[in-house]
Amino acid sequence: MHIGQLAKRAEVPIDTVRYYERHGILPEPDRDISGYRCYHPLDVRRVHFVRRAKALGFTLREIKELLALSAPRHGDVTAIKALASTKLADIEHRLAELTRVRDGLRTLVQACPGHGDMNHCPIVTALSEEYA
């Protein structure tokens, strides 16, 4: 199949297919006599894999590692689980940090009357403090 067919089946723009190819996410395809890229049906699965992994927060570097670890000849379920566990811990850490930020901002918004002297605005005061 040609690049347009791959893009359509994988539900991504053609530029995404080219990007993945340039960055080694997709193997370099064979070319037909006319020079057109010829992709394998497994490349559709690979692009779907990448899209799902990205949706779970994996970076392209991590996705390349997952792809390498999941290759039929070199499959390493233990390493895949370790990578996914590391990603999960990172996401949980970021969630905790975002929760802390949200709670702090919520407190400031609730404390601000929304009118009056700027010098009495708790939001401006908190943001202006030298050490918060």
Question: Helix/strand/coil (H, E, C) string of the chain?
Answer: CCHHHHHHHHCCCHHHHHHHHHCCCCCCCEECCCCCEECCHHHHHHHHHHHHHHHCCCCHHHHHHHHHHCCCCCCCHHHHHHHHHHHHHHHHHHHHHHHHHHHHHHHHHHHCCCCCCHHHCHHHHHHHCCCC
The pLDDT tens digits for 5-36 are 999 999 999 999 999 999 999 998 989 898 88
Q: Over 60: is that where the pLDDT of 132 sits? A: no
What is the distance between the alpha carbons of residues 6 and 100, in angstroms, rounded to a whole number? 43
- Write the CA distances from 51 to 21, 56, 111, integer angstroms: 14, 9, 42
Q: Over 90: is that where the pLDDT of 49 sits? A: yes
Q: What is the pTM of this model?
A: 0.75
Q: Are 122 and 132 in contact (CB under 8 A)?
A: no
The pLDDT tens digits for 91-102 are 999 999 999 999
Q: Over 80: is that where the pLDDT of 74 sits? A: no
Average pLDDT over residues 71-92: 90
* pLDDT given at position 76: 85
* pLDDT given at position 114: 87
The pLDDT tens digits for 52-71 are 999 999 999 999 999 988 88
